Amino acid sequence: MDVADNTSPNISMKIALPPGANVLIRKLSACRSPVAEPASWAEWVPGGLNNRGSLPVDYELRGILLAPVQAGGQIHVYRTHRNGTEVGGFFTSTMIVSILSDSMVETFNSIYLVIKTTVQKYYKEHE
């Protein structure tokens, strides 16, 4: 997969998910030149204030999309679950520099899968 240079966003593209949609977000990988390298799972403390680096690869959250997902913006989600555990909170990504497909975005640090989901689908997929 060829990813875009993260210096100039493609602001004409967005993912067709409306604010209020239930979404599943999964970090697939770091981007080609991340501002912050992903942390390892061994050193990452979920919710920790002293974590270094970006989220580990395979970090996953589920929640309610708060804003359109478009290049030049950020992913904003009211989180209901983090890595399969019910944990409320807010998630905000770094700036989206490119929309790679109808369900993948590249930010300054990461490549994310962004898909619409439901509670039933989430639990069925992760049992």
Residue range 12-68, pLDDT digits in tens: 488 989 999 999 999 999 999 999 999 998 888 888 888 888 999 999 999 999 999
Which residues make beta-bridge pairs with 108?
A: none
What is the number of alpha carbons within 13 Å of residue 22 lying toward its C-beta? 8
Within a domain: residue 68?
yes
pLDDT at position 125, please? 52
10 assigned to some structural domain: no
Q: Is residue 57 part of a domain?
A: yes
Mean pLDDT along residues 81-105: 94
In a domain? residue 8: no
Work out how many domains the chain is built from and give that number: 1
105 falls within a domain = yes
Which H or E element spans position 124?
helix 119-125
Q: Taking the alpha carbons of 20, 87, 101, 6 in that order, is the dihedral positive or negative?
A: positive
6 lies in a domain?
A: no
Range of the domain at 67: 15-43+53-125
Overall pTM surpassing 0.75 (yes/no): yes
Rounded CA separation 14/56 (Å): 24
Domain for residue 118, yes or no?
yes
Instruction: Supply the mean pLDDT for the chain.
Output: 86
Determine how many CB atoms are found less than 10 A away from the CB of residue 77.
Answer: 25
80, 88 in Cβ contact below 8 A?
yes
Q: Is the residue at 7 inside a domain?
A: no
